Amino acid sequence: MTAPAKGADASAERRLNMIEAINEALDIMLARDPDVMIFGEDVGYFGGVFRATAGLQAKYGKTRVFDTPISECGIIAAAIGMGAYGLRPVAEIQFADYIYPGLDQIVSEAARIRYRSAGEYTAPLTVRSPFGGGIFGGQTHSQSPEAMFTHVAGLKTVIPSTPHDAKGLLIAAIEDNDPVIFFEPKRIYNGPFSGFYDRPVEPWKRHPDSVVPEGHYRIPLGEARRVSEGEAMTVLAYGTMVHVVDAVAREKGIDIDLLDLRTLVPLDIEAIARSVERTGRCMVVHEATRTSGFGAELAALVQERMFYHLEAPVMRVTGFDTPYPHSLEWAYFPGPVRIGEAMDRLLQD
């Protein structure tokens, strides 16, 4: 399940945070492929609101890394046209909450162009966007809309949870010949957090998830990562929730089989099946709202494929079906208390 860093020298490993790892992936792809272009609101001169593109315009020039007007529809439409004519655009949408004006272009054009043209044209574009909570941004800077894109045939949806994976997955996304939605959990941009709002965070430079090899490497899309191996239950998570679940399990001393999905589409259903068949229990945790969230799809797949191995119903722990609150993030997203209580209930069934 865990893909090795192909072509990377293990002796050259450094420790980066996710912003630095993403910046390095973009730098490598700009250097390797003259068809790669990066653009979006404030990504050029300023280097992006989270600094993910810092220094790239100065290094590669304004024709390779440039700012755009505040028009998400226009940004995506331009990227589709560039991709159809042979370029590999990387478009940044400043926050996932702003992606909706470009939704028609993504769904009706980018995801359909290969099929509509009988393979004559493709749209090898990558749409990067910070998503989820983490900055107390409330309703307009904290949404998790991944399920909208996993529903669309022709799109791939990627969500890393570590700097190592962010770099390898982003390189793989840019090199992919189909459109990829690349969501970046902003809560862990600058380092991990303990999973508990009242616990100190381990210094990022000592955290094992911060080890990132130098140079070019790819993590194939569609391969899950086993974070911890256990027999009590299978927990499926992605993005920030991987760290929260891991922290809760360690705190409670429960030996969970924790799978970081990494890519929602394509999904590593084989890894999920192997885990659930062994543990007999399955929990899904995500920050997005519950109704029609991606957890519902995961629960349905587990139920369909592993029904006779289940010793209890599949359990979901998710965000609430309300707009994202401004100052109550820890009450809204699945925190340690809710996840811990759900683990206890699942073990009792």
Residues 175 and 232 in one domain: no
pLDDT band at 210 (very low <50, low <70, confident <90, very high): confident
The tally of domains found in the chain comes to 2
Residue 272 lies in a domain: yes
Q: Are residues 169 and 25 in the same domain?
A: yes
Task: Please check whether residue 111 lies inside any domain of the structure.
Answer: yes
Task: Answer yes or no: are the C-beta atoms of 218 and 262 closer than 8 Å.
Answer: no
**Residue 158 sits in the same domain as residue 16:** yes
In a domain, 193, yes or no: no
Q: The domain spanning residue 102 has which CATH number?
A: 3.40.50.970
Decide if 2 is inside a domain. no
Does 182 lie in the same domain as 231?
no
Residue 162 lies in a domain: yes
What pLDDT does 12 receive?
Answer: 56
Domain assignment of residue 234, given as a range: 222-348
**CATH number, domain containing residue 276:** 3.40.50.920
Per-residue model confidence as pLDDT tens digits over 128-165: 999 998 777 777 888 999 999 999 999 999 999 999 99
55 plus 179 within the same structural domain: yes
Does 181 share its domain with 226? no
Do residues 149 and 257 share a domain?
Answer: no
Is the pTM for the entire model greater than 0.85?
Answer: yes
| Domain co-membership, 147 together with 293 | no
- In this structure, are 109 and 229 located in the same domain? no
Residue 120 and residue 234 share a domain: no
Q: What is the pLDDT of residue 325?
A: 75
Is position 326 annotated as part of the catalytic site? no
Confirm whether 6 is domain-assigned.
no
Range of weakest confidence among 126-130, 173-177, 198-202, 318-322: 198-202
Residue 217 lies in a domain: no
User: Quick one: tokens of 199?
Assistant: 């616990």
Residue 170 neighbours by CB under 8 Å, 6+ apart: 22, 25, 26, 126, 128, 158, 160, 182
DSSP characters over 117-170: TTTS-----EEEEEESSSS--GGGS----HHHHHTSTT-EEE---SHHHHHHHH
For position 140, what pLDDT does the model report? 83
List, for residues 57-101, the tens digit of each pLDDT value: 999 999 999 999 999 999 999 999 999 999 999 999 999 999 999
pLDDT of residue 6: 46
